[in-house]
Amino acid sequence: MERTHKYTFEIYNGRIKVKIDGYVAISFNQIDFLGYYSFKDDSSLFGISFFFLREGAGGYTFDFYSKTKENWLAVLKLLDENM
C-alpha cells in the first residue's frame, strides 16, 4: 500500500508555513519574501529556491530540497495556489 502525505499551507502572524504530515517543512517571514521562487531539478534531488530581501546588501535565497518528486510537486502546487 502506497503512503499518502498531507500537505498544508498556513499564514499566521506574517509567517508562512508549509507543512508535510503536520511537520513544518518550510517557514519564512512574509515581509522579507520578494514574491517569487524558482525550482531546481538536480539528478538526485528536487529543489525550490525562495528569494528574500536583505537590508542594505541585496537579497538572499533559501533552498528547499526533496528526494521524492511527489513531495516536491505537492509543495510547488501549494505555493502556486496560495502565493
Nearest CA to 51 out of 28, 68, 82, 69 is that of 28
Q: 3-state class of 61 per DSSP?
A: strand
Residue 18 domain flag: yes
Residue 2 domain flag: no
Nearest CA to 28 out of 39, 17, 19, 12 is that of 17
Decide if pLDDT at 65 tops 70.
yes
Q: Give mean pLDDT, residues 70-83.
A: 90
Residue 66 domain flag: yes
Structural domain for 39, as ranges: 7-82
Decide if pLDDT at 37 tops 80.
yes
Res 56: pLDDT: 59
**Total domain count, the chain:** 1
Residue 1 domain flag: no
Phi, psi of 55 (to 5 degrees): -60, 120
Cα–Cα dist 58/53, whole Å: 7
